[in-house]
Amino acid sequence: MLDFNKQLRGKDGYQQLIEDIAVDSPILRRHSMAEIDNYLVLWELLDDVYRNKLIESEGLYAAFSYDIQKAYNNKEIKGYIIQVRKDENDSTLYSGFEHLASLFNR
């Protein structure tokens, strides 16, 4: 969990993107597609960690639920995912991110 937090918020992380999502600032104008993709891929990796039982849901919730929920409910993130799936003709892209969000969006 500490490594994921460092990758998300560390010096080379996504702190500005996380802050922009948290306050509902426009993100597609301020952040590149590559940055958004890399951010979502981190959630995909965290979902793999969770599904392989390397982290429990309580720890996952305590550490990351707010950021996951805010990103999942962000209209621009949703639109980005829809567009990438359409462009790549792959409806499974970012499904791990959506799985994590489903754990907390109830």
Give the predicted TM-score (pTM) of the model: 0.93
Whole-number pLDDT of residue 29: 94
Distance in angstroms (rounded) separating the CA atoms of residues 36 and 62: 23
DSSP result, 42-68: HHHHHHHHHHTTSS-HHHHHHHHHHHH
Q: Report d(CA 62, CA 56) in Å as an integer.
A: 10
The C-alpha atoms of residue 34 and residue 92 are separated, in whole angstroms, by: 18
Q: Quick one: CA torsion of 18, 70, 35, 52, rounded to 10 degrees? A: 110
Our count of domains for the chain comes to 1
pLDDT per position as a tens digit, 27-79: 999 999 999 999 999 999 999 999 999 999 898 999 999 999 999 999 999 99
Structure confidence at residue 11 as a pLDDT band (50, 70, 90): confident
- Per the structure, the complete domain to which residue 89 belongs is given by 2-104
- Overall residue count recorded for the chain in this entry: 106
